[in-house]
């Protein structure tokens, strides 16, 4: 006997249609961004230990301060970003289910939690040294104020402005061990800064119509795909000399990094001949994710043998 519900509705588990608190929380703090930034922060931390000839096992207090402090300030900044964007997030498919949009998390609670995360994270970073703490503040300020509140809705250069905050985590990791940031630390910053525009432009191409509807002046929206492809190519070319600032990691690392750059250059050039721009943008986005992961993990591996 029918109880008034459709068969299709009965076949869907309730957990599939009722988001859990954990899922909402992870969406609020943008766990994917937290995890990817922790990879670069840990790379900076580990390389600083290696270059200083310090066994990280003997300074687990610094490891804890760097990783948990960085994770907390990123989580707090991401929550504030969600709070700021709750008026435009309903327009975009990938953001319309965020708890700040659905109302499952109320604005005052999100604001309080975000501030608590940032304060606690900063306390951990300052417990290591002032440089790490100040870099953390710079990261939060550049993401929340310079990007989310100022440039995102006003300027086509918003992606470049946002790249500042994304390049700071490896500096934080390094500074926790060695507050006098050397050439290698800034090399990590530059690699992350230059990597981000082609990565996010690829995503912006895939979501161009959603950004257009939301009134966000992303490069593909304002300048079109052809101009975006040229910009992506330029940023990829800029990556080529940067690994050589980390020459202490050895020839094998430089060869690997150059091959990764050559592969990305190949895909970037291919974009000028493809018929399906969105399919190409997807391949560029996937390559950029693999590029970042392989490059930074390889830094850790090769640093062990220096």
245-301: pLDDT as tens digits: 999 999 999 999 999 999 999 999 999 999 999 999 999 999 999 999 999 999 999
Residue carrying the six token digits 């503040």 = 137
Mean pLDDT, range 131-142, rounded to an integer:
98
CB neighbours of 164 closer than 8 A, spacing ≥ 6?
142, 146, 147, 193
Query: How many other C-beta atoms can be found within 10 angstroms of the C-beta atom of residue 129?
Result: 17
Q: In the prediction, which pLDDT does 19 show? A: 57
Mean pLDDT, range 186-192, rounded to an integer:
98
Mean pLDDT, range 95-107, rounded to an integer:
90
pTM: 0.91
199-248: pLDDT as tens digits: 999 999 999 999 999 999 999 999 999 999 999 999 999 999 999 999 99
Q: In the prediction, which pLDDT does 93 show? A: 86
Give me the percent of the chain exceeding a pLDDT of 70.
94
pLDDT averaged over every residue in the chain:
92
Q: Residue 138 in contact with residue 168, Cβ under 8 Å?
A: yes
């Amino acid at each position: 006997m029918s109880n008034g519900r459709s068969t299709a509705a009965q076949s869907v588990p309730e957990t599939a249609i009722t988001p859990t608190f954990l899922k909402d929380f992870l969406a609020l703090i943008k766990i994917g961004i937290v995890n990817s930034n922790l990879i670069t922060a840990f790379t900076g931390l580990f390389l600083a230990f290696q270059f200083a000839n310090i066994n990280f096992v003997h300074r687990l207090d610094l490891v804890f301060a760097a990783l948990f402090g960085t994770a907390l300030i990123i989580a707090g900044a991401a929550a504030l970003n969600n709070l700021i964007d709750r008026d435009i997030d309903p327009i975009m498919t990938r953001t319309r289910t965020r708890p700040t949009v659905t109302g499952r998390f109320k604005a005052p609670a999100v604001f309080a939690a975000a501030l608590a995360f940032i304060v606690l994270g900063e306390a951990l970073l300052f417990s290591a040294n002032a440089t790490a703490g100040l870099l953390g503040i710079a990261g939060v300020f550049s993401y929340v104020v310079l990007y989310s509140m100022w440039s995102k809705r006003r300027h086509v250069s918003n992606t470049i402005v946002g790249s500042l905050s994304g390049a700071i985590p490896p500096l934080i990791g390094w500074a926790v061990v060695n507050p006098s940031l050397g050439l290698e630390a800034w090399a990590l910053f530059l690699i992350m800064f230059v990597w981000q525009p082609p990565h996010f432009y690829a995503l912006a191409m895939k979501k161009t119509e959603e950004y257009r509807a939301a009134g966000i002046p992303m490069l593909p929206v304002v300048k079109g795909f052809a101009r975006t492809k040229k910009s992506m190519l330029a940023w990829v070319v800029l990556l080529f000399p940067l690994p050589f600032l980390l020459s202490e990691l050895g020839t094998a690392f430089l060869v690997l990094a150059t091959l990764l750059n050559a592969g990305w250059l190949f895909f970037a050039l291919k974009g000028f001949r493809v018929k399906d721009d969105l399919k190409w943008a997807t391949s560029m986005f996937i390559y950029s994710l693999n590029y970042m992961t392989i490059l930074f993990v390889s830094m850790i591996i090769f640093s062990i043998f220096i």
